[in-house]
A and B are shown apart, each in its own frame.
Chain A
Amino acid sequence: MSTWLHWDSVDAFLAMGGYGLHVWGAYGATAAALALEGWLAHRRARRARDAALTAALARAKNTVAAR
């Protein structure tokens, strides 16, 4: 397994041959952007669902009241 790993140490892995800031910066920005997009989309879905079910329940209540 040790031959499968390209790096000799954790420090070497983090340093990325002197490009650590660039590589980890790019990956960090990607992770942050995708996390934000995921959170926003799920929040929108949750709100839409709650609003739709509130409307559906209100309609059901009106139907019962009308009888």
Chain B
Amino acid sequence: MRFTTYAAPSRFHRLTTLLLPWLWATAALSAAAGLAVGLLHAPTDAQQGDAYRIIFIHVPAAWMSMVVYLAMAGWAAVGWIWRVRLASMLARALAPTGLVCTALALVTGAVWGKPTWGTWWVWDARLTSELILLLLYAGYLALVESIDDPRRADRAGALLAVVGAVNVPVIYFSVRWWNTLHQGASITLGRAPSMADSMLLAMGLTTLAFWAWAFAIVFVRVRAIVLERERDAEWVRALDDTRSTDAAVARMRGAAA
């Protein structure tokens, strides 16, 4: 079996049918465990008091906002250059999740900033570049939704996504390149994290939850996009979902009557 095997939408559909229950379960369990450790067990921060507990959602959401963007731009480019239709559909499916993660990073950051900085918002490099990320996601979605022909929409979206990818390293390194009100990284490769073990564990668990959630929700959306675009394909008939089949039969009867 080659790695391109699952590029066929029918096989992708079968594979994700198997994966989805595990992804949902991983998301639910790691979220529950992460919240238990982070909200019930971890100590109060010496400087920020208990307001710091927002970190367990703020940081994973912010990480995901950047990772999802790179994935979206990457798949959009693959779909554009090699004309892999599933890659373009993946890019489309990633955008709403990236938008949600970016919005959550901004909102939870504002709610955290008020008690610790005394302000909801400042135009520093980190916050501004993250806001630009939100606008890139919104612009991508508005662009692809405004073009009726899916192939043309994919190409236009890919161009925007790839150009906008420049912003991701700017977000990541902004706290080093500029003097920002936003604090520097608590976790950097090759250095001991500047956090208590239980805080680190909680953040690891909620990060895992966000990853599993993102995979699951994106798979659900890709499956929908595949069916929207390939409803005339032969394999679609073989989908064995009685509930949906019943609904479809009922609708046909309704249309015939």
Chain A residues proximal to chain B, CB less than 8 Å: 4-7, 13, 16-19, 22-23, 25-27, 29-30, 33-34, 37-38, 40-42, 44-61
Contacts and interface: CB of A to CB of B under 8 A. Distances in A.
B204 interface: no
Interface of B: 39-44, 49-51, 53-54, 57-58, 61, 96-97, 100, 103-104, 107-108, 111-112, 114-115, 213, 217, 220-221, 223-225, 227-228, 230-232, 236-237, 239, 241, 244-245, 247-249, 251-252
B237 A22 contact: no
Please provide the 4 A-B residue pairs with the shortest distance between their CB atoms, ordered closest to farther.
Answer: A17-B50, A53-B248, A48-B227, A52-B231
With a 10 A CB-CB cut-off, give which of B43, B49, B50, B245 has the most chain A CB atoms: B50
15 contacts: A4-B40, A17-B44, A19-B115, A22-B51, A22-B54, A30-B61, A30-B104, A44-B224, A45-B223, A48-B225, A49-B244, A53-B239, A53-B247, A56-B248, A60-B237
Contacts of A18: 49-50
A6 to B, nearest CB: 6
A33 B217 CA distance: 13
A54 B248 CA distance: 5
A44 B89 CA distance: 14
Interface of B is mostly: helix
Contacts of A42: 220
Contact of A26 (B41, B58, B230, B231): B58
B40 A6 contact: yes
B221 A26 contact: no
Interface of A is mostly: helix
Contacts of A23: 50-51, 53-54
Given A55-B236, A59-B237, 8 more contacts: A4-B40, A5-B41, A6-B40, A18-B50, A22-B51, A22-B54, A52-B230, A52-B236
A46 B181 CA distance: 45
Contacts of A34: 100, 213
A17 B43 CA distance: 11
Nearest to A40: B96
Given A7-B40, A54-B251, A41 B103 contact: no
A29 B104 contact: yes
B108 A29 contact: yes
Given A26-B112, A41-B217, A51 B231 contact: yes
